[in-house]
Amino acid sequence: MKQKILSLVLYATTAFALAEFIDGLYGAGPVTRHLELIHLAIAGTILFAAAFVLSLFTLRAGVVCGLVGSVLSWPYFAVGMPTIPWGSLVSILPYASWLDLVIAIIALAVASVYSANQLRVLLRGRSDSGASKMTLKLVAAILYAAGMFIVVNWRGI
């Protein structure tokens, strides 16, 4: 049960962060560059929302859906990664216009690693070896989700 809750938290957080970025992207005006990649990222965001729902019923279907969502979302965000000045990220982050992009990339990276690891564990047919640390993982995931929510909505707080 805790594994399903962990999956729900991670996929909901990723879907929220990507939707927040896409909302800001389209709210800025008409988008003409990389339109096909944006459509793939939107499909990936929808699949993360579907992974959230599917994880309620079966963890394997949710993980597969989340992994497909990751694969569809990464092409657009890989194109946007070079525009971020990673060397001076901390000092200019509060004033950056690309905060939503950084948050979306972080959430996508976390969800991608989680999905790939969970699929590996599920395909091997064994339970997670860290089952004894599941409570700690769950607390960490909830703190991660709360932190992401605060950072995404930082300008509105």
Length of the chain: 157
Confidence of residue 89 (pLDDT cuts 50, 70, 90): low
Widest pairwise Cα distance in the chain: 50
One-character DSSP codes across 51-74: HHHHHHH-HHHHHHHHHHHHHHHH
Confidence of residue 94 (pLDDT cuts 50, 70, 90): low
- In this model, does residue 128 exceed pLDDT 70? no
Q: How big is the CA angle at 16 (ends 9 and 5), to the nearest 5 degrees? A: 10
Q: How far apart are CA 18 and CA 46, in angstroms?
A: 9
Which pLDDT does position 112 carry in this prediction?
A: 92
Q: How far apart are CA 93 and CA 85, in angstroms?
A: 10
Domain with 102 in it: 2-156
Count of structural domains within the chain: 1
Confidence of residue 129 (pLDDT cuts 50, 70, 90): low
Encode 107-131: b = buried (16+ Cβ within 10 Å), e = exposed.
bbebbbebbeebeebbeeeeebeee
- In this model, does residue 133 exceed pLDDT 80? no
pLDDT digit string, tens, across residues 12-59: 999 999 998 888 887 767 777 888 999 999 999 999 999 999 999 988
